[in-house]
Structure 1
Amino acid sequence: MLCPCGSKQTYPLCCAKYIEKFAENKSMLPELPEHLMRSRFTAYALNDAPYIFATYAKESQSQHSLQDISEWSSQCKWLELTVHDASIIEIDKQEIHSVEFSAFYIHNDTVNVMREKSRFIKEIDNNNQLAWRYLDGDILQNDVIKQIKRNETCPCNNYFNKQNKKAKKYKHCCGN
């Protein structure tokens, strides 16, 4: 299975090494903010709320709950992640890394795109290691791309995660 993050690598060689090691309470940390962003997208696609919550910066965790993350994640079919840019910015003499990305997903019978410029910081994790964490982000775009009709080909066939499956109608695929 290709990794949902769009890296064109298989899941075991890509985001699984972070998500599954976290689930096993072992530490394998993303080396770069972009890797953390990709693993968080994959965790949304897999509805892995504990990983998503744990990768928020400590100051951001109070604004989110495992239940809210899980509910939002399960309401969507995550289709594709496109990373546009990764850069370093300085805010109040602190280096903050940013990643600009677009996430495509199905929600309430519509295909949507959300473009965000996310900010990442390093902080000490529960294993006393310095780790990248998602601080926050600016939503640059959040639009409905199209309304999906039940008898048309499911939009998931148009994105990277086709996985050689025969095209199905929306009502027999993501719309059921």
Structure 2
Amino acid sequence: MTSNPNDANTSNPVTTNNNTNTFSPTINVNPTITVNSTTSGQGLLTEFNFVPLDFDNSLAAPVRFATLNSTPLVFTIDNTSDRVWLQMSIQWRAIAPTEARFHISRRRQGEIVFTDICTTDDSTNSPGSATTSLTCVDDQPILTAGFQQVEYQVTVEDNNMATILIFTGNGILTGAEIEANSFSAP
């Protein structure tokens, strides 16, 4: 005997799916962007620069405190709403377990002393090498409008003051000016 799949008395009824997909996304592949003279250059990284962290004491006496770049990283900033993005990375080693504190410092035009703007601690659990990186934003590189030079340097200190840090000049300090964001409508 043959059974009809549409017959209500069968043990295997056929189910009909009446669902329909109503999702219709709209995608703008090439949006129109209007740039005018009042908003161009806004919110952009500009004036990219770098200096090597060239302090090398591998053949001389080890240090407990040092400035790691012989030449400061320099920017010319003109607007009080501009920022400076900074990133430092360096390899170092210690002759015993230690903790080192790395500083990125700023000196504004007319100032004599560098002022810390960010720090990070790193450590080694045994004699050996480490690589330390630090990224930060100087949110107030200048206090008054007008073209002014701002300098940055990297320093390090041994927090334990019991061990000795050794550097081989293998590092870099990079930075870029961040133009102020513009919130005006086009």
Query: Do they superpose with TM above 0.5?
Result: no
Higher strand proportion (structure 1 or 2): 2
> Which structure ranks higher in relative contact order (CA pairs < 8 Å, sequence separation ≥ 6)?
2
Which TM bucket (shorter chain)? under 0.3
After TM superposition, the score normalised by the length of structure 1 is: 0.26
Higher Rg of the two aligned structures:
2
